Structure 1
C-alpha cells in the first residue's frame, strides 16, 4: 500500500501544565495591574511573559509516515445439512464467487471466510445441536480488532439456531448482512415434539405432547414406536397439540419415535420423524420372602434383601409346620396371623419377586394358592426357589402345582460332601454368571469357598449356569410363559456370606439372579444392543450360542438420500459376547437387525434441530441485521447486490446493495520531530521584548 504523511504540533512541557497555568495566571495578573496603573511598556512585558511560557511548553512539529491498514470483510458460509435442499448450495456457491470478485475490487479490503460444515453439528448429545452460525462467526472474529472490521456477510437459508437477543460485541458497530438461499413461502410437513418426559417409572405411563404442521391442513397419520417396536397408529389434526400417553417398558433408555407420512408438499422427509428418549427407572421393588424351618442361612437372605434401599421386603417364617402339631391353639403360636388369602390371592400380582427359602409343602399354603403362584409366574411374575433336603422328600415343592413351572426335578437324594460351585459351559455365556468374581479361568478351580450339600436333580428345562458335586445342577434359570423361575439346589449359599473356606460372591450372585428374574435388560441372555458414543456406535450381541449372526445396520433417513444399509460382522470378545464398532457421521436413529433381534441407537441429539424446520426464512436473522443497519437480501431476487463503502454511523445496506464500513485505519511507519522554538530564538525574542519594554518606559 502507498505511504502517506500527516503533520501535527505536539507539546512536551518542561514543567507540568498546572505549574505553567499558575505562572501564566501570575503574569497575567501583573500585566493587568500594570495596565490599571497606566505603566508604559506593559504590552512588551506581556510579550516577554508569553515567550517564556511558550518556550516552557516545548512545542515541536511532528510529521508521521502512515501505512494504511486493510479493513476486513468476513463471509460466513452455512454448509449444514439443510443446505442440501433444492438449489440452496448452488445459490450460496454462486454468491461466494460473486462476493470474492466484488470484494477483491475494493481497495484496502482483506477478505476472510468461515465455513460451517455438516461436521460442525456435534454428535455428542450434550451439545445443543442445530446450525450454530453465529458461534462460527464469533470464532472467526476472535483475532480481528473491531476497528478493522468492515462488515460480515452471512450466506445461509436462515435456519440459524444460536441467534442472540442483541448484536454480538465482536461486530464493534460494523454492519451485519444476510443473503438468504432458498425460496420464499416454502411448504413442508413436519412433526414437532412440544413436551417429552426425560424419566419415567417402569410399568407406568408418562405423557408426551406433539403436533404436526402442514400448510395443507386436515389430518395426518402418525406411527408411534418404542425401541423400534410399533406400539400405536393414530390420525391427528394438523396444527393442534396432541397428548400421547406412553408406557415405560424397560429400565434405562426407551427411545420413542414419532413418524408421519409424507404430505402433499415436502422439502425433506427427515423432519417427518421425531425422536426423544425416556430413561426408565424402577420404583421400589416389592419382594415376598417365605422361609421354612429356621436355619443359619435364613438371616443371610433377610439381611441381603434388607440392605438394598430399593427393596420393600415382606418376610414370613414358618416356625411350626402342621406336622409338628401338639394341639396348641394357632393363635397362641403365631406372632401375627399369616395372611395367606391376602398374599396369595388378593395382592399376589403386586409383588415383583417371590422367594421360597427351604419351604416344605403342607397344609399351610394350599394347592390352590400354589396354583395361583404358578399362574402369576406365567403371566410375567418372578419366582426364586432355594431348596433344602426336604426338596428330595414327599413334602417337596415339586409335588405341588409349582412343579409344573420348576425347571429341575428332584432325584430323591442329597449329596453331602465338600465341593466348589463351578460355572458351566453355558454359564460362561450367560450374563448372570459370565464374569462372576473369583470364578477363575475355564478349566481351573474357582477361588471361592466350598459348599457341603446339594439336592440331586435333573434339569428338565432352562439353563444350568452353576453345577455342584458330581456335576449336579446347582443354579438353574428358566423362562415360563412371560415370567421367569430360578432354582438354587442347595441351602448353603450363606456359607459364602460368612466367609467359610474363603467365602464367595453371594451378594453379587443373588443380585444378578434377582435382576434377571425381573427382566433387567443388561442381564438378558439373548440380546442385541447398540450404544452411541459421539461419532461411534458399539454393537454387542449376547447369546448362549457359540457363534454370532451378522447384523444389518440401517442409517437414518429414507431412500435415496438416506436409509442405506450395511452388514456388520461381530467379533467374539468373551464367551457369549460379540462386538462391533462402526463410525457414523450423521445424527439420527440407526437401526440394527440380526434376523431374530433388533434394536436402535440414537446418535447425537435424538431430535436434531437441524431438521426440525427446514423452510428458508429471514425472520430469525432480521432483528440482528436491522440493529446493525445491514441488509437482508434473498438470493433468488438479487443474486448480485452492489457493494458500497460507507462512513461509520451511516446506513450500510438496502434491498439491493451491501455496505462496508470504511475505517481508514493505519499504522505509523516513522516520525520526524522538529522543535518550533529553538533556544536561540527564544533568547532573542525574550531580550527584544524586555529591551522594547525598557525603551518604552524611558520615553
Structure 2
C-alpha cells in the first residue's frame, strides 16, 4: 500500500469574488509599482498572502491499494494440437510462461485451456480461443488487463475484427511450411428428389502436386467407386437417390506423401431424399358408395397427383344410351398401360371386374411393373370371388390372397392381427386397443386364402381381410372388402379409415417411416438411440462401429409393439455403421466434416492482423527459442526481438485520504499584519 500527494484548493469565497479581488489587487499594485511607491513590494507580498489564504490550499495525501495486473495464458487443446510434436511443445511453452510470470509480484496469470469440450458430437465451432479469452476477462476491468499469450497452431476460427485493449502474443506450435492433403466439399444439396440424380462438387487440395489423385466414392455403404481427379480443381459427380430419407455419401482421397492427418482426406455428405408429387392411377370398376372414399383421401393429399377413371359402361354391354351422355372421355387404355405406365407410383383397382376392357397384355405389363418396383392396391368387390375377378388374370400372380369363391355377408368388426399389431400400417390404429376394437362393423368380405405376405387385418373366422406383400422390387396390398366407406360415413361409430388408407397408400409408395423391417438410429443428448422394427418378435443385437473403427455390440430389448430399442454413448462426431446381420445402416452424427480439421497446417496468417494491431508479437516454438517475458509501460511497444511484453497498468483503489491545510488562519493573519506594518513603515520614512 503506497500513498500519493496532490495539491487541492477549496476557496473560502466564491471563485468569481476571489477572481475579482485578485484583479483589483493586481491593478492597484501595478499602479504602485509604476509610480515607484515606497512599500509597494511589502504590499504585494501582503496581498498575495491574503489571496492565497482565501484560496485555502490543502495538501492531500491518498492511501492507495495497488492491484495486480492480470494476464491470460490461452492454451489450445483442440484435436489438431495432437498432431506431430505440437502437444509436447504446447506443454513446455505453457510451463515456461507460467514460471516466468511468477517472477513479477504485481502480475496474476490466468491459465485457460479450450478446445477439449465434450459436446463435440453436436457442435462444430472449431477452435474458439478468442471466445475463451472474452470469457476469462468477463470479470476483469480493462485497466488491469496486461495482455494475453496464445499457444496454438494458429488455426483459430473466431478471430475478431478488432484487437482487445491490450497486447496479444501468439506462440505457434507447428512448423513452418507444413503440407497436408485435404478433401473439400465445394457444394452439396441438403435435399434431392428420389429417382433423380443430385450434383455434388468437391476438390482435393494438395499444394505443390499436379499428378492425378484417386478418390473413393461410396453411397450408403455400398460398393466403392473410384474417381481420378486433379488437385486444386473442382470435380462434379452425379449421385442417384434411390430411396426416400437420408442418403449418406462418403468421399475419401488417397493419402498423400506428406500427411499431417488422414482425417481431412475424408468427407461425408448427407442428402435427404424426398419424393416429387406422387402419381396415382385409380380405376373404379363401377360406380358404388365407397368410390369417393379413395378419391377424397388421395385428393386431400397435396403431394399426390391423382388420375381417376370410373368405368360407367363396359365395352360388352350395349344399350341405347349415347356415349357422350355416359363419359367425358374414352378410356385411354394404350396411353395409360403402355406409354405412361412407369410414370405412376401406385395403381389402385377399386371393385374392378374383368370385362375385356383392359386386355391381358396390359394386365401382364402391370404385373411386370410391380416386379420392377411399382405398387398395386386391389380393393375387392363381390366380383373378385368369381371368375371375373382380377385373380384370374395375369395380375393374379402378384396377389398374396387367393379367393375361395365364397362371399361372406355378415356383420363383423375388422380385427388387427398379431402381425398387424407389429406392422406400421396397422400398428396403434385409433380404437384398435382392447380385445374388441372401438370401431364400426362391415357386412361383406370376399373370403381369401393367404398365399404369402402379411395379413394385418382379419375378418370373420380369421379370414385375411388386408394382405400386404412385397413382390420383386415392388409392393402389393389386397383389401378383401369394399365397405371401408362405412367408416367414412360414421356408421356404427365409424372408424380410422383416413388413417388406415393413408398409411396403406404411403407404405405402397415406400415411405421410409412405414418400413416394417428397419434399423433406425438417432443421436440425442450424447447418446445414439437405436431401434429395430421387425415383424418377428424377440430381442436382438446390433453391432455399432464408431468413426474410429471400434466395434461395440448393443443389446436391443423388445417392447412388445414390434420395436426393439437400445442406446450407446457417442464417442464423437462422424459416421456410425450399424448392422444386425441382415440390415445395415449408416448414420451421420454431428459434424462429420469437422471445421477443426478443414486445415491443420500451422500458420501465423489467420490471427496475424489482430496480433499486429494489438502491438503483440508472434514466435514459432519449433525454432527452439522461447521469447523472454517482460513488463512494459503503457504506450510502449509490447514485443521485440526475442521478447514479449505485458503492460504494467498500476491500477489502484484509494483506501483513505489525509488533508493538511497549508494556510493556517492565525499565522496567516499575523504574517499579513506584519507585512502591512512593514509597508507603512517604509512609506513613512
* Whole-Å separation in 2 of the counterparts to 1:573 and 1:23: 101
1: CA distance, partners of 2:16 / 2:436: 98
- Which of 286, 302, 306 aligns to 2:299? It is 306
> Are 2:468 and 1:477 aligned?
yes
Q: Is the 8 A contact 1:95 1:639 kept in 2?
A: no
Q: Which residue number in structure 1 is paired with residue 556 of structure 2?
A: 570
Correspondence for 2:192 among 195, 200, 212:
200
Aligned: 1:259 with 2:240: no
Structure 1, unaligned runs of 5 or more: 557-561
Aligned equivalents of 2:28 and 2:309: distance in 1?
117
Task: Find 1:581's aligned residue among 546, 567, 579.
Answer: 567
Mean CA deviation greater in 505-514 or 688-697: 688-697
> Helix, strand or coil: the match of 1:617?
coil
Structure-to-structure mapping, 1:607-646, within 5 angstroms: 607-646=593-632
Aligned pairs for 1:398-409 (under 5 A) are: 398-409=391-402
Match of 2:429 in 1: 436
- RMSD after superposition: 2.5
Could you give the per-residue CA deviations for residues 357-407 of structure 1, whole angstroms, max 9, x where no partner exists?
112121222222212211221111111121111111221111221111111
For the 8 Å contact 1:121–1:130, the answer to whether it is kept is no
Matched, 1:88 2:86: yes
Matches within 5 A, 1:189-338: 189-215=181-207, 216-230=209-223, 232-338=225-331
In structure 2, relative to structure 1, the CA distance for the partners of 1:389 and 1:48 (3 Å cut) is farther
2:20 and 2:244 mapped to 1: Cα distance? Answer: 86
CA–CA distance in 1 between the matches of 2:44 and 2:558?
A: 105
- Report if the CA contact (8 A) 1:121-1:131 is conserved: no
- The yes-or-no answer on 1:411 pairing with 2:404 is yes
2:576 aligned residue: 590
Which string of whole-angstrom CA distances, capped at 9 and with x for unpartnered residues, describes residues 194-219 of structure 1? 11212222222221211112344412
Does the CA-based 8 Å contact 1:155-1:180 persist in structure 2? Answer: yes
> In structure 2, do the counterparts of structure 1 residues 636 and 68 end up closer, same or farther at CA, with 3 Å as the change threshold?
same
Deviation, structure 1 residue 654: 3.3
The one-character-per-residue Cα deviations of 1:69-128 (angstroms, maximum 9, x if unpaired) are 11112111111111111121111111111111111112311111110142266322xx44
After superposition, the Cα gap between the structure-2 partners of 1:655 and 1:400, relative to the gap in structure 1 and judged at 3 Å, is farther
Q: Does 1:492 align with 2:478?
A: no
1:673 shift after superposition: 1.3
Q: In the TM superposition, what is the alpha-carbon distance from 1:482 to its structure 2 partner?
A: 0.9
Distance change in 2, residues 1:50/1:518 (3 Å)? farther
In structure 2, the partner of 1:559 is none
Q: What is the aligned residue count?
A: 684
Q: CA deviation at 1:24?
A: 4.7
1:566-596, CA deviations, whole angstroms, 9 ceiling, x for partnerless residues? 1111112333211111111311111111111
**More off after superposition, 427-436 vs 231-240:** 231-240
Asked whether the equivalents of residues 571 and 579 of structure 1 are also in contact (C-alpha less than 8 Å), the reply is yes
SS of the residue 1:615 aligns to = coil
Q: TM-score normalised to the size of structure 2?
A: 0.94
Spell out, residue by residue over 1:133-163, the C-alpha distance to the aligned partner (whole angstroms, 9 max, x if none): 2211211111122211111111111222222
User: What is aligned with 1:72?
Assistant: 70
Question: Once structures 1 and 2 are overlaid, which stretch shifts more, 222-231 or 155-164?
Answer: 222-231
Question: Equivalent residues in 2 for 1:398-547 (5 A)?
Answer: 398-441=391-434, 444-547=435-538
2:179 equivalent in structure 1: 187
1:409/1:457 contact within 8 Å kept = yes
Specify whether residues 451 and 697 from structure 1 end up closer, same or farther in structure 2 by C-alpha distance, changes over 3 A only. Answer: farther
CA distance in 1, matches of 2:455, 2:144: 77
1:550 match: secondary structure: strand
The answer on 1:602 being equivalent to 2:593 is no
What's the offset of the Cα at 1:684? 3.9
Residue in structure 2 matched with residue 164 of structure 1 by the alignment:
160
Distance change (3 Å), C-alpha of 1:670 and 1:453: same
CA distance in 2, matches of 1:473, 1:367: 27
Q: How does 1:309-388 map to 2 (within 5 A)?
A: 309-388=302-381
Q: Normalization by structure 1: what TM-score?
A: 0.92
Shift of 1:524: 0.9
Matched, 1:652 2:650: no
1:303-334 superposed Cα distances (whole Å, 9 cap, x missing partner): 11111122211111112223542154534532
> 2: distance between equivalents of 1:87 and 1:29?
83
CA contact (8 A) 1:121 1:129 kept: no
Compute the displacement of 1:477 (Å). Answer: 0.8
Query: For the structure 1 residues 332 and 47, does the alpha-carbon distance in structure 2 shift closer, same or farther, using more than 3 Å as the test?
Result: same
Counterpart selection for 1:149 from 145, 151, 159:
145
Correspondence for 2:170 = 178
Q: What residue in structure 2 maps to residue 138 of structure 1?
A: 134
Measured in 2, the distance between the counterparts of 1:23 and 1:534 equals 81
Partner Cα distance (1:40, 1:412) in 2? 151
CA contact (8 A) 1:291 1:316 kept: yes
Structure 1 107/307 Cα, relative in aligned 2: closer, same or farther at 3 Å? same
Deviation at 1:49, TM superposition (A): 5.9
